[in-house]
Amino acid sequence: MAKIGKRSAAAQKAFDGKSLISVEEAVALIKSAASAKFDETLEIAMNLGVDPRHADQMVRGVVALPNGTGKTVRVAVFARGAKADEAKAAGADIVGAEDLMETIQSGKIEFDRCIATPDMMPLVGRLGKILGPRNLMPNPKVGTVTMDVKTAVEAAKGGEVQFKVEKAGVIHAGIGKVSFSDEKLAQNVRAFVDAVSRAKPTGAKGAYLKKVSLASTMGPGVSVDLASATA
């Protein structure tokens, strides 16, 4: 534990006095301080000027990061017949209908993204209380309720990231690995910020983007200059 404490203290010292720096500076600082024994994730947190309790201020969407996330995404697909075959061919990890529903109801959830064809939604709807809190419920707004299951599966496997604002008006996401090059991480940061910016809801009043912060899985966070993040 002492070693972890020393590493954390050293990392925190490196971050002291650093605020509202450029995306490139933030990425370089985070990478230099990352000292875990695994490949840490670069995480982004965005504070938005919205109150998601109001429907016209809800922010959600999806973005295909230019350099992926570095994470292996397990995909489940609710489909039958030819669409089930299409999903399997595209690389889906789990494909099913009633059998998949029963597996999920038993508490076995071994996937990170759930996709469904529109005709399967009455079945999937029964799983709302299980999938909803885990942000796994298929939704046409983010392309996970679709007849084009091939494209949806390939997008999920290729580094597509979904985002949804939380109660406090904050969006969190993992957008790459610290082993990525500085340039690739900076590109992912700006792609994510751009996607959230374009998802600005009609009910948002005043400043929409309030703060953007970056951190590694085990490291301190640092706030980024908004002009740099939206460049």
- The pLDDT assigned to 231 comes to 80
Regions in the chain scoring below 50 on pLDDT: 1-4
H-only helix segments in 2-148: 2-15, 23-33, 81-90, 98-105, 121-124, 128-131
Q: What is the CATH number of domain 75-157?
A: 3.40.50.790
DSSP labels, 153-195 = HHHHHTTEEEEE--TTSEEEEEEEETTS-HHHHHHHHHHHHHH
- The per-residue pLDDT for 191 is 97
Alpha-carbon span 206 to 221, nearest angstrom: 26
Task: Note whether 18-69+160-229 and 75-157 share their fold.
Answer: no
* Residue extents of the structural domains in the chain: 18-69+160-229, 75-157
pTM of the complete model: 0.83
Per the CATH hierarchy, to which homologous superfamily does domain 18-69+160-229 belong?
Answer: Ribosomal protein L1/L10, rRNA-binding domain (3.30.190.20)
Which pLDDT value is given to residue 7?
A: 55
